[in-house]
Amino acid sequence: MMKHVDGNERAKLSLYALSTCIWCKMTKKLLNDLGLGYDYVDMDSLEGEEKQRALEDLKRWNPKCSFPSLIINDEKCIVGYDDKKIKEAIGL
């Protein structure tokens, strides 16, 4: 379900996104520009049970299931694009 992008593993990052969302694309670009490794899933590319499982995982962190949702170290969820909050949470 999740795809991995190689990079610096300074934090465990899981991104729930939509392939068509500009804010999701900006979040991916930020993580790439920072050279960070992360896992992501484009929710609109999933179907059936796989999509249902991904939504259940996301609801634990963000009950509204809005995008992007970035989970950091299985502790914190940043909803929406906020480069300052993301950098701060990762310790940059």
Is a pLDDT exceeding 90 seen at residue 1? no
pLDDT at 16: 97
Measured from the Cβ of residue 36, the count of other Cβ atoms closer than 10 Å reads 19
Residue 57 falls inside a structural domain: yes
Residue 49 falls inside a structural domain: yes
Cα dist from 21 to 14, 51, 67, 89, whole Å: 17, 17, 8, 22
CATH number at residue 36: 3.40.30.10
Domain count of the chain?
Answer: 1
pLDDT at 75: 94
**pLDDT digits 0-9 by tens, 42-52:** 999 999 999 99
